[in-house]
Amino acid sequence: MVAMSGGVDSSVAAALLRDAGHEVVGVTLRLWGGESDSGCCAVSDVDDARRVADALGIEHHVFNLGDDFERDVVAPYVADHVVGRTPNPCVECNRHLKFHRLRNRAAALGYERIATGHHARIVEQPDGTRRIARAVDRAKDQSYVLHMLDQEQMAGLLLPIGDMTKDEVRRHATAIGLRTANKPDSQDVCFITRARGREDFLGQRMALTPGRVVDVSGTEVGTVDAVELVTIGQRRGLALGGGAAPRYAVDVDMSTATVTVGSAGDLLTNETLVDGCTWTNTSFPPIDLSVQTSAHGIAEPANLIGAGNKVIVEWAQPHRRVAPGQSVVFYAGDEVVGGATAC
């Protein structure tokens, strides 16, 4: 069962699996009924997925998981903002919808494995366990958003395009005549439109609190319309007059609605506390550990102190503070060994 978003990656994933002799069914998840630029649920994207499936000669179904998406992705996204966290809804969608809900449904309907068009690989270890590994195309690597997968989930998952560059994916789509060959990549959060933005979306679902902006000495230097929307490390939108050096949000205190700004140096920290840890296998701690704190960030060397659900990431070099709610992913070389959420 291939999760087809209507994009080129999942189109090619379906084509490759069909050509490899699998019995393939394409499924598009209808997750969000509201406005969307593209994301996964716009009718035109469902149409693209359906027409690609038609061209490939595979069945296509649409599953409406809108209630689950609202409960497991959108509501927590809003709730996190209420307490000043910066969540990663794509990670939660993968965790709850694609790799839990869809996987269980596939199993109930007689499909042994699901497949997606993520740019990542699954590599088998000498002991037979599996890990998610970075895609061949480093620029498109999505291993970060798959970090939560456990052994059972990986055993039931195929990532057919992880070994291909994006150019190769597009060339393959062109070669076999898929209509999605030149479709632009989807971006951003699927349930928030570029025209209206995050503030508008959240403003309809929660109260936004105006806040003060102070520098590290406590002097007020500006204001913000919504302290809930400020992310640590953020530079723009803090209503600061033109200063000499760039200033960043280094702390957000929700209880007093105060954002502290400082220099790039003030943003650095030696350690980051994370919780909600998931581990891909038991051989812990791994050597050559590096830690990545955003979807397109660079993994930096670090040690982990502690084990279990809550650990401290001790950075080899001072590291920018991580906004609470962000996914923090642990790599051994190119392979994911675990992940967590910044506190």
Beta-bridged to residue 122, according to DSSP, are: 132
Q: Rounded to an integer, what distance in angstroms lies between the CA atom of residue 82 and that of residue 84?
A: 6
Using CB under 8 A, which of 67, 184, 217, 245 touches another protein? 67
The yes or no reply on residue 21 touching another protein (CB under 8 A) is yes
In the bound complex, what is the minimum distance in angstroms from residue 76's beta carbon to another protein?
Answer: 20
Candidates 64, 174, 187, 309; binder of another protein (CB under 8 A) is 64
> For residue 38, is it left (φ>0), alpha (ψ between -120 and 50) or beta?
alpha
Q: Do residues 102 and 114 make contact, with C-beta atoms less than 8 angstroms apart? A: yes
- What is the distance of C-alpha 308 from the center of its chain? 22
Polymer length of the chain: 343
| Cβ nearer to another protein, comparing 64 with 182 | 64
Per-residue x/- mask for another protein, residues 80 to 119, rule CB under 8 A? Answer: ------------------------xx-xxxx---------
Q: Which of 46, 214, 230, 336 is the binder for another protein (CB under 8 A)?
A: 46
Cα 56 from Cα 24, distance rounded (Å): 10
| Segment contacting another protein by CB under 8 A, of 62-70, 127-135, 137-145, 205-213 | 62-70
- Choose one: 52-60, 90-98, 157-165, 240-248; the region binding another protein (CB under 8 A): 52-60
Which amino acid makes up residue 149? L
- Tell me how far apart the alpha carbons of residues 230 and 248 are, in angstroms, rounded to a whole number: 10
In whole angstroms, the minimum distance from the beta carbon of 89 to another protein comes to 20
**150 lines the binding site for another protein (CB under 8 A):** no
59 binds another protein (CB under 8 A): yes
> Residue 182 interacts with another protein (CB under 8 A)?
no
Among 3, 4, 9, 22, the residue binding another protein under the rule CB under 8 A is 22
Q: Are 209 and 222 in contact (CB under 8 A)?
A: no
Closest CA to 186 of 86, 59, 48: 48
Residue with tokens 């994916």: 169
Nearer to another protein (CB atom), residue 68 or residue 228: 68
Q: Which of residues 66 and 76 has its CB atom nearest to another protein in the complex? A: 66
Q: Minimum Å distance from CB 62 to another protein?
A: 4
Active-site residue flag, 190: yes
How far apart are CB 189 and another protein at their closest, in Å? Answer: 19
Pairing of strands 211-215, 268-279: unpaired
Residue 115 β-bridge partners = 2, 158
Stretch that binds another protein, among 19-27, 134-142, 160-168, 214-222 (CB under 8 A): 19-27
Binding to another protein by residue 43, rule CB under 8 A? Answer: yes
Residue 281, judged by CB atoms within 10 A of its CB (0-12, 13-18, 19+), counts as: middle
Is 40 labeled as catalytic in the residue annotation? no
Taken in order 343, 338, 336, 168, is the CA torsion positive or negative? negative
Do 121 and 162 touch, CB atoms closer than 8 A? yes
Binding site for another protein (CB under 8 A): 18, 21-23, 28, 30, 33, 41, 43, 46, 50, 57-59, 61-64, 66-67, 104-105, 107-110
Give catalytic residue positions.
93, 190
